[in-house]
Amino acid sequence: MSIFKALVPKMSLKRPLAIFIMGVSGVGKSTIGSLLAQQLTVPFFDGDDYHPETNITKMKAGSPLNDDDRHPWLTALNKLAKEQLQKNSCIIACSALKESYRTTLHKDIEANVKWVLLDGDYELIHKRLKKRSAHFMPDSLLRSQFDTLEDPIEALKIDITLRPEEIVRVIEEELFEKSEIGVIGMGVMGKSLARNLASNGFSISLFNRHLPGKEENIAAKAVQEFKELSDAKPFDSLQAFVNSLQRPKKLLVMISAGNAIDSIIHELVPLLSQNDVFIDGGNSHYDDTQRRIHLLSESDLHFIGAGISGGEEGALKGPSIMPSGNKEAYKLIRPFLESIAAIDQNNDPCCSYIGPDGSGHFVKMVHNGIEYAEMQLLAEVFEVFRRSGENNDEIATSLEAWKATVNSYLLEITIDILRKKEGNDWLLNKILDKSGNKGTGNWATMASSRLGVPSTMISAALFARYIASFKDERITTSELYATKIAPYRVDTDELRKAYEFARIINHVQGFKLLYEASKAYNWSLNLSDIARIWTNGCIIRSDLMETLVQVLQISKDILLEASFISKIKSLYPSTTKVVSECILHEVPIPCLSEALNYFNGYKTKNSSANLIQAQRDYFGAHTYQRLHDPSGKAYHTIWKNSSTHD
């Protein structure tokens, strides 16, 4: 999160910058730095002036500095940059050769730091250094500096064969006339994320395609409509949009998942160059993301798949963000994503690097799977209350009281929905009971099936939506199979306990799916950190998620954690009672009952799977193992006359 919001005089940016002019000795850091500072009327600092005396003595004696020597120097420069940023922008000349040095230099101020690498070949720099007499750096150290330099992909690289005035002009043009990031797609999410980026002081370009008669001047209209976007540059030409971005170019793409992403990649690749980053912020399938990462890497480009949760409001005020792909490339976009993300209880951003490949989109897909089951559980609770004769206001009042024990964003919005009136009636009563879906619940179900993980609550919630979609058939069967159902009044507290139980099982299953995927695909997912970035900004944020951050630090299996064992034991009797009563009274509760069935199955020591194995062996000679033979030997039986073979 950017901590400096002051307006910078002269520059077009809304936040001050510390511009580090970096490179090996002899590239002209001080010359360029002071020229640039004059041009921008901001202070210039030569990093060499901040070396402790011991370092200067060491260098004069011809010995290279080690990392321990450099540490106090880098920390002093970081402190200097922080102090300056409180007042204004500044320019600092500093070699900053290693990534770890740059990490120290930009500590806590990453979003306000820009790197400019003065780039030249050894021979040229060597010649320049030889001409210098007053400098304390002997040219014999130049080779070691070249060897130490770790490629700063985040830096604007400028060829030192240009004249100093030209170099300064390029820096000005790149850093102050061009935009730091571009947003493609001015739909609800794209527009809101663009506004969020602009509110955080980033300079942005906006692109929306031009479809005559359908989508015309969309980006320009967004700039007119929202005051935060008044400095944004709007485009409907992709080439001009790309040209308006600073190098390496960062593009946040917010368009429909699927073919549209492949089409825009196809158009963009010829316009981009090495280290540019394409961020797909939509709900793309993780396999597609994986394929696109490979495709772009062939052109030395980066593709980051970033799951973004929180809907329109989250996108505008702070979503939860789940980015994955090349870890180096993530560093290029980290300041942007972490600045716009929601913050957790400790003020840390609800955004962190998830892992390689399409793991970010996988994690977002599981988020949505959990979301499906959470929504379905609330729908079932609503149905149970309704069958108990309560009206929407009464249900809202009961749910209001539940906030003390089982609060979540989805519970809160459900209460609002239940209370919403249109005329004399509740709006909810006028909504057609056919639920839609955009596919992520389906993908989560397929992924769990592919991995052999029983995410039964996600699939139950998905199939409940599918059942609901067959409205005409439901009308017919409701008449054909009409029965006289005995009146049923649920005990509110017992229903609350069943709901709490089912929510725990939903999270157990969701994190189990993540754990197994991480193992199968070698993603090294940090489950606790994923829970942490789901504590704010996203749709499934809840008190339970806060608790899970700690639990998942200790154990990957929530069901084995002591506090959950006692909690589940205390909720279990009410869950059994509520589920049984609902079934007796014909209330459809696929998710509540699945939570119980899953749990009962999971705690059954000797299951009926022995019969399944025998059946498989009977008709297909698939063999089976025996309980009392730990060797795992395969047995086959001729079942009709009962003879057994090894």
Catalytic residues: 364, 371
- Across 199-334, the runs of DSSP E, i.e. the strands, are 204-207, 233-235, 250-253, 277-280, 302-309, 320-324
Give 21 or 252: the residue with its C-beta nearer to ligand 6PG.
Answer: 252
The smaller minimum CB distance to ligand 6PG, of residues 233 and 541, is found at 541
- Contact code string over 533-552 relative to ligand 6PG, x by CB under 6 A: -----xx-------------
Indicate the SS3 state at residue 444.
Answer: helix
Helix ranges (DSSP H) in 149-214:
164-172, 188-199
**Residue among 75, 23, 15, 19 nearest 42 (CA):** 19
Residue with tokens 């316009």: 271
**Does residue 175 sit in helix, strand or coil?**
helix
Single-letter code of the amino acid located at 432: L
Beta-strand ranges (E) seen in 263-383 are 277-280, 302-309, 320-324
Task: State the minimum distance, in angstroms, from the CB of residue 373 to ligand 6PG.
Answer: 12
581 binds ligand 6PG (CB under 6 A): no
| Nearest partner of 377 among 282, 506, 190, judged by Cα | 506
By the 8 A CB rule, do 466 and 458 touch? no
| CB nearer ligand 6PG, residue 89 or residue 284 | 284
* 357 contributes a contact to ligand 6PG by CB under 6 A: no
Say how far apart CA 174 and CA 191 lie, in whole Å. 24
By CB under 6 A, which span of 5-13, 387-395, 436-444, 545-553 interacts with ligand 6PG? 436-444
HSE-CB at 405 with a 13 A cutoff on CA atoms is 17
DSSP state, 227? G
Q: Which residue lies nearer to ligand 6PG by CB, 18 or 365?
A: 365
Question: Phi/psi of residue 184, each to 5°?
Answer: -105, 125
Nearest CA among 102, 629, 176 for reference residue 644: 629
* The one segment of 137-145, 239-247, 309-317, 479-487 that binds ligand 6PG by CB under 6 A: 309-317
From candidates 2, 34, 55, 309, binder to ligand 6PG by CB under 6 A: 309
Stretch in the footprint of ligand 6PG (CB under 6 A) among 23-31, 50-58, 304-312, 475-483:
304-312
Matching residue, tokens 């006028």: 430
Residues in binding contact with ligand 6PG, number by CB under 6 A:
13
Helix, strand, coil shares, percent, the chain, to 5? 55, 10, 35
CB of 591 to ligand 6PG, least distance (A): 15
Stretch that binds ligand 6PG, among 140-148, 308-316, 354-362, 605-613 (CB under 6 A): 308-316
Query: Is residue 457 involved in binding ligand 6PG (CB under 6 A)?
Result: no
Least distance from ligand 6PG to the Cβ atom of residue 95, Å: 44
Write each residue from 68 to 107 as x if it is in contact with ligand 6PG (CB under 6 A), else as -, in one continuous string. Answer: ----------------------------------------
Among 440, 448, 518, 575, the residue binding ligand 6PG under the rule CB under 6 A is 440
- Interface with ligand 6PG includes 437 (CB under 6 A)? yes
What mask, x for binding ligand 6PG by CB under 6 A, covers residues 370 to 409?
-x--------------------------------------
Q: Is 311 in the site for ligand 6PG (CB under 6 A)?
A: yes
Chosen residue from 95, 283, 408, 455 binding ligand 6PG by CB under 6 A:
283
- How far is CA 394 from each of CA 58, 399, 412, 429, rounded to the nearest angstrom? 78, 9, 15, 14
Which DSSP letter does residue 306 get? E
The separation between CA 299 and the C-alpha centre of its own chain, rounded to angstroms, equals 25
Residues that bind ligand 6PG (CB under 6 A): 283, 309-311, 368, 371, 436-438, 440-441, 538-539
